[in-house]
Amino acid sequence: MKVLIVDDERLARKELRRLLKAHPDAEVIGEAGNADEARSFLAESRPDIVFLDVQMPGENGFELLESLETVPHVIFCTAYDEYALRAFDVNALDYLLKPVDPARLAAALKRAEIQPSPAAGDDAAQADLPPRTGPLHPDERVFVREGDRCWFVPVRSVRLLESEGNYTRLHFEEHRPAVFRSLNAMEERLSPDTFFRANRAQVINLDFIEKIEPWFSGSYVVTLRGGERVELSRRQSQTFRARMSL
């Protein structure tokens, strides 16, 4: 994978180069200290990955992307976590915080390996950078922030989503953060192959169902790995039964 590093700090570029030496499949073919230099390099070369800082003199990282007709995979590499949601809105492959953790870098490169590069000739990968739409793949990770805590969460690890007004509470591992987005909006981004609307207020991950019990009036209660008990509405119980039956 051919790599371009875009960062206005020379020491940051040097450190990232050092970390990338541990990954022989990632070849650094150039560096840029600002948007103009990056744009010139991208016009002449076709890197597979751009490691991109957000805050730079002149145009920032997002403004650079908006000026391009096509872009390779982008991995943001910055000291600020507040841009992460916007980064995923422009289809960033990953978002690394400085100082870069070697394990997180390895995971980001692994994701790049399994996804076709837009720089490899995919004419459909025109990047006027619309917001991400459509279902998220279960193996994708999403950025979740609550207060001063942040997580990069694999979609498949979210076992339950619960509506709390304009917020949705996510259940994954031992965590229960609430994000400022309605359950309906969240459901639109989830694959129906994995997630199921249990009732008006809850969406469950089918892969986490541990037990199913008959309930009142032909409905069901499911128990998830993690201990949550979720009642399926009568209507959704019928849909569930039809969907899951042989």
Lowest-confidence segment of 59-73, 143-157, 213-227 by average pLDDT: 143-157
Look at residue 225 in the predicted model and tell me its pLDDT: 93
Taking residues 27-42, what's their average pLDDT? Answer: 94
The DSSP result for 154-198, as a single string, is EGGG--EEEEETTEEEEEBTTB--EESS-HHHHHHTS-TTTEEEE
Look at residue 90 in the predicted model and tell me its pLDDT: 66
Higher model confidence: residue 139 or residue 21?
21
- CATH T-level assignment (fold) for domain 141-244: OB fold (Dihydrolipoamide Acetyltransferase, E2P) (2.40.50)
Residue 120: which pLDDT band, with cuts at 50, 70 and 90? Answer: very low
Give one word for 173, left, alpha or beta, with left for phi > 0 and alpha for psi -120 to 50.
Answer: left
- Render pLDDT for 178-200 as a digit per residue (tens, 0 to 9): 888 889 988 988 989 999 999 99
Residue 125 has pLDDT above 80, yes or no: no
The CATH architecture annotation of domain 2-120 reads 3-Layer(aba) Sandwich (3.40)
Domain boundaries in the chain? Answer: 2-120, 141-244
Q: Give percent of the chain with pLDDT exceeding 90.
A: 51
- Render pLDDT for 197-227 as a digit per residue (tens, 0 to 9): 999 999 999 999 999 999 888 889 999 999 9
